Structure formats: structure tokens, C-alpha cells
């Protein structure tokens, strides 16, 4: 499959590495231009390109940019085929991204993203830490394989995204419509808690839309407190404890 990825940070670069290893043809872009990521692209076996080139003549576009930058991608995505599936991996943190009134009033993050870029999206890989994505994939059939929620409104687009999630070493769970995707946003039991498929199904059902933003902000304040240091396992444990 031909895949364009915009965003070469921890998530975008890890997805590029893993999907290229599965045999997909991957183009990788960032906001600073291909020269800035050429060494990375050479290392992981992908093409470093401009953002416009990344979305051209591909089957899927994966967006992994800071949340506040999504409006800037509307023009870029006009170069993408109407058939290309657009996958949103990002999350909203008001302290980092600036307050967005619509989301603070309850609009699901990926619904807002779709409106900003003028394209329908599938939400995937947002509810997993970069270290989890990089190091904790397992073969299909493993009883301890971590599951990742995938939400969308188009059955074919969602199926494509689910297949790519499986390629990265995780079980893909159809998590409902884009309107329901708040259930996998920060502050919910499904977010960055490394759950198996049966556990993730329960976590999505247990999500509380009112509590989630408060959980998100409390966890971030804890993780960012001066002098605090958390291991990966401690972050997962804190997410589980706060959102249970």
C-alpha cells in the first residue's frame, strides 16, 4: 500500500518505520522540509518528501502533527485523492495547543479535525504512547496483545485503518463512529492504558465524557510537575488509576 505520513515526531516516525518494515511504500514529511528528515528516512527505508508530495498518489494519509496545526493542512490535503483514507493520530491538550472552544464544549476531537481539514478522517493510534507503539507490538493471536481503538464513519476507510493497526503489531478494535471517538480521547480508560481486546471493550463502555477532560488535565499536571520523573510503566499505571 502507498502511505503518506505528515509528522516525523515520535508517533509519525515510529509508524513510518513499522509500516515500511511490513512492505508498505511510505513517504514521510514534516513542516521543515525533506532535508531535515533525510537521515531518518534513509535509516528506516522511506522517502523524505514535502507535505504536498506526501499526500499525492497514496492510498492513505496519516496525520501526526501537533493538534493546533491541523487547520494549516486544509490546503495541503487538496492534493490528495478523494479516495485516500485520512487517519488522525493526534490529541488535544489545551495547555499545549491553546483552548479550542468547540472541543471544550464537548465536540469530539476528530470531528473538529475533520471540519478543519475538510476531509473525513478515521481516528487511530491516538490512544497509545510512542514507547508502546515502538516496543510492545506482538504477533496476531497472542493472548496479551494490546488492542487499539479505531473510530470512523466509513466502513471501508475504517477497515483500511484497522488493517494498518494490525500491521504495526496491535489488535484493532472497531470503536464506533467518529462522534463516539471521545471515548478514546485523553482522560478516558481506553487512553494509553495498554489493554487487551476484552479489556479495551469494557474501557470504552466505561468512559465518562464529563470526567475525561478533568482526568486529562490532572494527569498532565502530575506528569509535568517540577522534578517529577516517571517510567513508562508508571505512566501507564497512573493513567489506569486516574481513569478507572
Provide the pLDDT for residue 226.
94
Residues of the chain with pLDDT under 50: none
Provide the pLDDT for residue 15.
98
Whether 160 and 59 have beta carbons less than 8 Å apart is answered as yes
Q: What number of other Cβ atoms are within 10 A of residue 125's Cβ?
A: 26
Provide the pLDDT for residue 89.
98
What digits encode the pLDDT tens for the residues 168-193? 999 999 999 999 999 999 999 999 99
- Rounded CA gap, 195 and 143, in Å? 11
Q: List, in sequence order, every residue forming a beta bridge with 62; answer none if it has no partner.
A: 5, 87
Provide the pLDDT for residue 145.
98
Provide the pLDDT for residue 3.
98
Provide the pLDDT for residue 157.
98
- Rounded CA gap, 236 and 130, in Å? 12
Provide the pLDDT for residue 155.
96
- Rounded CA gap, 175 and 153, in Å? 10
**Domains of the chain with bracketed CATH:** 2-179 (3.40.50.720)
Whole-model pTM: value is 0.96
Amino acid at each position: 500500500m502507498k502511505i503518506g505520513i505528515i509528522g516525523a515526531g515520535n508517533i509519525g516516525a515510529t509508524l513510518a518505520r513499522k509500516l515500511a518494515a511490513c512492505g508498505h511504500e511510505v513517504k514521510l514529511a514534516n513542516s521543515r522540509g525533506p532535508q531535515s528528515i533525510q537521515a531518518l528516512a534513509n535509516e528506516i527505508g522511506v522517502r523524505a518528501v514535502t507535505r504536498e508530495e506526501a499526500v499525492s498518489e497514496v492510498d492513505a494519509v496519516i496525520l501526526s502533527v501537533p493538534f493546533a496545526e491541523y487547520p494549516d493542512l486544509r490546503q495541503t490535503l487538496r492534493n490528495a485523492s478523494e479516495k485516500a483514507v485520512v487517519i488522525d493520530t493526534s490529541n488535544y491538550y489545551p495547555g499545549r495547543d491553546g483552548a479550542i472552544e468547540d472541543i471544550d464544549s464537548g465536540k469530539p476531537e476528530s470531528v473538529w479535525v475533520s471540519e478543519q481539514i475538510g476531509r473525513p478522517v478515521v481516528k487511530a493510534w491516538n490512544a497509545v504512547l510512542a514507547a508502546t507503539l515502538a516496543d510492545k507490538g506482538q504477533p496476531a493471536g497472542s493472548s496479551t496483545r494490546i488492542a487499539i481503538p479505531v473510530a470512523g464513519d466509513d466502513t471501508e476507510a475504517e477497515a483500511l485503518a484497522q488493517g494498518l493497526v494490525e500491521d504495526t503489531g496491535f489488535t484493532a478494535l472497531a470503536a464506533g463512529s467518529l462522534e463516539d471517538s471521545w471515548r478514546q480521547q485523553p482522560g478516558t480508560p481506553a487512553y494509553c492504558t495498554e489493554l487487551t481486546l476484552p479489556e479495551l471493550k469494557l474501557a470504552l463502555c466505561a468512559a465518562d465524557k464529563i470526567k475525561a477532560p478533568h482526568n486529562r488535565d490532572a494527569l498532565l499536571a502530575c506528569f509535568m510537575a517540577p522534578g517529577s520523573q516517571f517510567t513508562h510503566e508508571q505512566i501507564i499505571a497512573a493513567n489506569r488509576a486516574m481513569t478507572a
